[in-house]
Amino acid sequence: MGALTRAEALVGAVPPVRRRMTAAALSFGILAVAACALAPLVGSTPIDVRRAWDPSIAFSDNVDAQIFFVARLPRVLSAALVGSSLAAAGVVFQALLRNPLATPFTLGVSAGAALGAMLAITLGVTFAIGPLGTVPLASFVGSLAAVCIVYLLATARHRGFSTNVMLLAGVTLNAFFSALILFLQYFADATQTMRTVRWLMGDLDVASYGPILAALPLIAIAIVTFAWLARALNLLVLGPEQAEARGIDVLRAQRIAFVSASLATGAAVSVGGPIGFVGIVVPHLVRLLVGSDHRVLLPSASLFGGTFLIACDLVSRTVMAPLELPVGIVTAVIGGPFFLWLLISRGAGGSGQ
Amino acid sequence: MAADLARGGRIGTVRDRVAIVAAIVAVIVAASIAAAAPPAKRIVSLVPAVTEMLFAVGAGPQVVGVSSFDREPPEVARLPRVGALLDPDLESILALKPDLVVVYGSQDELKTQLERAGAPMFSYRHAGLQGIFETLRQVGDHTGRVEAANALIDRIRADLASIRKAVAGQPRPRVLLVFGRDVDALRNVWVSGGVGFIHEVLEIAGGDNVMADVTREGLQINVEQILARKPDVILELRADARADAEREALQTWRTLSALNAVRNRRVYFLSGSELVTPGPRIARAAERIARVLQPR
């Protein structure tokens, strides 16, 4: 009941919400822009930034410029893109499944992507579409396959769209795909296994703008869809009946939420691998700061997810240089204990519902 | 502590004590090797590098089983396979009734099982160039081919010395040694650090490893580090190659045009199992690398 009145207040009070949206978007936006602008200035090698931007030096001779524009900037931008997609998708999945433990990877998207990547690495096939190489493409196809299977199962026996079936199917698919991955790894040689394991740890060193540009349209579409879904998500967390009573086409909203969040996740994973914790820690942290109205929460989590991953990737590329500390390990090491602390001290498990 | 000992007895310093203990251990080890001395007649090798050494010292006829990754020398094709590093098949190993099983140092579980089954073992670990010579010597001991092993060691040493001499005085390019990466992309680039036989082979062949300061055999390197290390030569080494690997390498590395290696088109792709196997063919590997680094 308490949740209902709170949600009613949220849905009803339009002007304050608008003001809070602006305030949140502004502050998280400034943070994200600052991260994008400052992160490329820092790295494992000292560079002369003025020389990097000097147009009088030919780019092909300018090491500083290549470090800035080929090594660092694409990394920072891909971190921003991947972080914001995963965080936003996390928010959507938590609302859709009405479960604070849901992550973008709960429904098998990452396991499908990993299976795709593993197949590409083990079979040693190569293909490319435009700027996209074999492994990113294969992982994206794998994530799509997983999404399709879960979607078909969730719609199969019911006339509607069962989030319970979806959750069970997703978790089972995760386990099943993981088993297939182990099966493939058993027959792969040590180098291939190492590459797959490394892929699972996440890597944003994309070294070109191609993968970012390829993922951008999908992620942009998903984010626009999220914005449009925000009100529906507010009502979906109250339960399908409540949402129905308030004039939401629940089935349609659930389908759109599932497909768009899955696409965003698949695209993000194809760029940086299955980087964990961003999709669960960021939504909960931001929810504590701005509340659980999705009109404020979604843009805030999205912007902060980008900032968070830029920061984690900065740690990843500098802290052990010249070795690279895989970014998935950084997000887990920072995110894991932080999330546990959040859980005990603030009762994050209850928010979001 | 040292002072106590000095006062307390005839054994003077700690160092003396360590020396005595070491001597005793050495005698025991030598004795146990000597005790296990009758040359092995039925050898199962789970380590491709050691398999090659066995054949190279003339103990090929004594080898009765090899790992699933063994390809060299061609004679291994007819031998039964008994699994590999991660999936050794104890049953097929024991079925071959081996009197010596060559295992990798990290195969602890297999070692325990073999010990229980009473099968003699030779535990091996990669340990750089010196390790290759040391292993060859041990292989000679175990197979009763001490002279052949010593002759082979001398020949490899001489070959390496003559390569070293041939490149002496030539300019030494800064080299990035690449073991693997994604096809068509500079992602997941694995390179040699400053440890391991191929790093040492590179130094002999007249190149300076740009990652020599990293005390690891291999590491993943990001694009920023590749640019920062400024290699004059990028040398990609693989066990075997795809058809147009050389062209693909030149094409892919073109992104980093600020590197001397790329500007001067000194991106090379070499394939062959001798380049990745710390075995008896390292002199050939050194020669091939030297030829690429010093074109004249």
pLDDT in tens, A260-312: 999 999 999 999 999 999 999 999 999 989 988 999 999 999 999 999 999 99
* Predicted pLDDT at B37: 60
Residue B280: asked if its preceding bond is cis (omega within 30°), the reply is: no
What pLDDT band is residue A176 in, cutting at 50, 70 and 90?
Answer: very high
Tell whether B258 lies on the interface with A, counting CB pairs under 8 A: yes
- Nearest-5° angle of CA B269, CA B275, CA B277? 150
Distances (CA, A) of B74 to B77, B98, B174: 6, 22, 35
Tell whether A5 lies on the interface with B, counting CB pairs under 8 A: no
Tell whether A51 lies on the interface with B, counting CB pairs under 8 A: no
Q: Which CATH number fits domain B43-160: 3.40.50.2300, 3.40.50.1980, 3.90.10.10, 3.40.800.10?
A: 3.40.50.1980
Tell whether A205 lies on the interface with B, counting CB pairs under 8 A: yes
Count chain A–chain B contacts defined by CB atoms under 8 A: 94
Bridge partner list, B269: B236
* Predicted pLDDT at B5: 40
Tell whether B167 lies on the interface with A, counting CB pairs under 8 A: no
Instruction: State the CB neighbour count (10 A cutoff) for residue B197.
Output: 24
Domain locations along chain B: 2-35, 43-160, 173-293
Q: Which chain A residues touch B213 with a CB distance below 8 Å?
A: 322
Instruction: State the CB neighbour count (10 A cutoff) for residue B7.
Output: 7
Q: Which chain A residues touch B263 with a CB distance below 8 Å?
A: 60-61
Residue B113 near residue B93 (C-beta atoms within 8 A) = no
pLDDT at B31 over 70: no
Q: Which chain A residues touch B255 with a CB distance below 8 Å?
A: 70, 207-208
Contact B188 A195 (CB under 8 A): yes
Question: What ipTM was predicted for this assembly?
Answer: 0.83
* Predicted pLDDT at B41: 85
Q: What average pLDDT does range A17-44 have in this prediction?
A: 91
* Distance between CA atoms of residues A269 and A265, nearest Å: 6
Query: Which ranges constitute the DSSP H helices of A128-162?
Result: 134-156
Greater confidence, A301 or A99? A301
Greater confidence, B57 or A12? B57
The CATH T-level fold of domain B173-293 is: Rossmann fold (3.40.50)
Q: What average pLDDT does range B163-181 have in this prediction?
A: 92
pLDDT in tens, A110-127: 899 989 988 888 887 777
Two tokens, residue A129: 């579409």
Mutation pick from B70, B81, B223, B257 vs chain A, by most beta carbons of A within 10 Å, is: B223
Q: What average pLDDT does range A82-92 have in this prediction?
A: 96
CA A7 to chain centre: 26
What pLDDT band is residue A3 in, cutting at 50, 70 and 90?
Answer: very low
- Terminal C-alpha separation, chain A: 11
pLDDT at B26 over 70: no
* DSSP at A160: S
Distances (CA, A) of B227 to A109, B11, B210: 35, 57, 11
Q: What average pLDDT does range A195-203 have in this prediction?
A: 89
pLDDT in tens, A261-272: 999 999 999 999
Assign 3-state DSSP to chain A and report helix, strand, coil percentages, each to 5: 75, 0, 25
State how far residue A185 is from chain B, nearest Cα, in angstroms.
Answer: 11
Q: Give the count of alpha carbons within 13 A of A309, CB side only.
A: 35
Residue A304 near residue A87 (C-beta atoms within 8 A) = yes
Identical fold at B43-160 and B173-293?
yes
Mutation pick from A121, A129, A324 vs chain B, by most beta carbons of B within 10 Å, is: A324
**Which residue does chain B place closest to A62, by CA atoms?**
B258
pLDDT at A352 over 50: no
Tell whether B224 lies on the interface with A, counting CB pairs under 8 A: yes
User: Which domains occur in chain A, in start order?
Assistant: 2-40+74-350 (1.10.3470.10)
Residue A282 near residue A44 (C-beta atoms within 8 A) = no
Q: Which chain B residues touch A207 with a CB distance below 8 Å?
A: 185-187, 223, 255
Contact B214 A195 (CB under 8 A): no
pLDDT in tens, A151-169: 888 887 766 677 788 888 8
Query: What's the whole-number average pLDDT of chain A?
Result: 86
pTM over 0.90: no
Contact B225 A189 (CB under 8 A): no
Strand B233-238 to B174-180 pairing: parallel
Tell whether A330 lies on the interface with B, counting CB pairs under 8 A: no
Burial of A186 (0-12, 13-18, 19+ CB in 10 A): exposed
* Predicted pLDDT at B105: 87
Tell whether B241 lies on the interface with A, counting CB pairs under 8 A: no
pLDDT in tens, A227-260: 999 999 999 998 888 888 888 888 889 889 999 9
Q: What average pLDDT does range A74-82 have in this prediction?
A: 96
Tell whether A191 lies on the interface with B, counting CB pairs under 8 A: yes
State how far residue A187 is from chain B, nearest Cα, in angstroms.
Answer: 10
**Which residue does chain B place closest to A130, by CA atoms?**
B184
Lowest mean pLDDT among A182-196, B4-18, B52-66, B100-114: B4-18
